[in-house]
Amino acid sequence: MSKINVRSFSNENEDGAPDLVGITTFSATSFFVPTRGTTAQRPSDHVEVGSLRYNYDTKNLEYYRGKTIGWSQFELIDPDLGGGTGSNIGLGVRGIFTGGYAAAASSPKVTNTINFVTISTTGNAQDFGDLAAADQDIVRCGSSRTRGVFRDGNSAPMTFITFASTGNSVTFGNSGLTENRANGLSSETRGLHAGGTTSNRNQIEYITIASTGNAVDFGNLITGALSPATGASSTRGIFAGCATHPSTSGNAIEFITISTLGNSQDFGDLVNGGTTYQTASSSNSTKMLVTNDHSIEQIIIATLGNGTDFGDLSSNLDSQGGGCSSPTRALFGGGNDPNVNIEYVEFATAANAVDFGDLTYIQNRHGCGTSNGHGGL
């Protein structure tokens, strides 16, 4: 087998990529290997727009979009997923919003409604089905590309949905954590959730998403978490807003290695203040976005350190709703001000959120969100 190792190709004027002519097809046993490296090793100077590289940290192929945007990973398009129109029916990453109060603050009523959206397009949510039980603090326990798992906010039962087909959630197993104001994250195979209001707020449990069954002990958070914001890459999970006392918010950020049982470690601090109540958050494989009141803060998952400002939610939305994401876009819906609003941002560009569409029901705080295209996959 022939092998050529070069740093770069350029045309004869050295001002662009060369044109490849002749035989450009591969045989059945041939393959092309792009440049490889970690996130920290991403080149930023003298890089051609459209350049390809493989990222060891995220385990994804990336392409360069110019100095303003930088590197982005290719987004999975799965024909088994819902959404799309015309010839694209069935294409897209599905975002899920569920739980919370479904009425105005003057007459709160918990809901078991499940809504879904296709994240790559804007528009109103559609009905997906119902959770097995209505609750205000539904916990996302993890999601793969095919399945999303939730826990009832104030009890042990966990149920799951299958993203590709609408319908009601079905029994998954039980969690040892039974308090509200918990939150979770996941890789493709393992889901973790932690947090609560009192006794077990430091405890982390995990599930194997593909196999129904009860949650198992994973380790402990350093400081505990009251309604933590969560996000993940395929290897690292983040819990943000961890507090030292059940009745207070916190700004501590902690991380775990998803594949390895053990306690969390210190990551840094949030800069826009501690999270309170149920905090909407979303992540792709490199960046996690945390909402607090109307602010949005970003955390670079692979690099220890403090969060930085990203932008703001509009005055129509606050942080106590649900969050979901694709590799390129983060959505936030519902909130403490009774509303049906969904807003979105693009991960690549720090900016204020803009309108996406509406939920089918009024969500007045403590909602939950997940997707089959988040950063842990």
Q: What residue type is 36 in one-letter code?
A: R
Which residue's structure tokens are 């690549």?
348
Domains, the chain, ordered by start: 15-74 (2.10.10), 86-371 (2.120.10.80)
Contact between 329 and 317 under an 8 Å Cβ cutoff? The reply is: no
DSSP state of 41: G
Q: How far apart are CA 377 and CA 58, in angstroms?
A: 9
Strand partners, 193: 184, 205
pLDDT computed for residue 74 by the predictor: 72
Q: Report how far residue 72's alpha carbon sits from residue 76's, in angstroms, rounded to the nearest whole number.
A: 12
| Structure tokens, 209 | 């998403």
Cβ contact 352:312 at 8 Å: yes
Query: In order along the chain (377 residues), what is the average pLDDT of each group of 10 residues?
Result: 57 61 60 81 85 82 82 61 44 84 62 92 95 83 95 88 94 88 92 80 93 96 84 95 66 94 96 68 94 90 96 78 92 80 94 94 78 92
pTM beyond 0.85, yes or no: no
Mind giving me the DSSP string for 68-85?
TT-EEEPPP--TTS----
Beta bridge partners of 160: 149, 170
- The answer to whether 193 touches 205, Cβ cutoff 8 Å, is yes
Helix/strand/coil for 362: strand
Q: Are 207 and 233 in contact (CB under 8 A)?
A: no
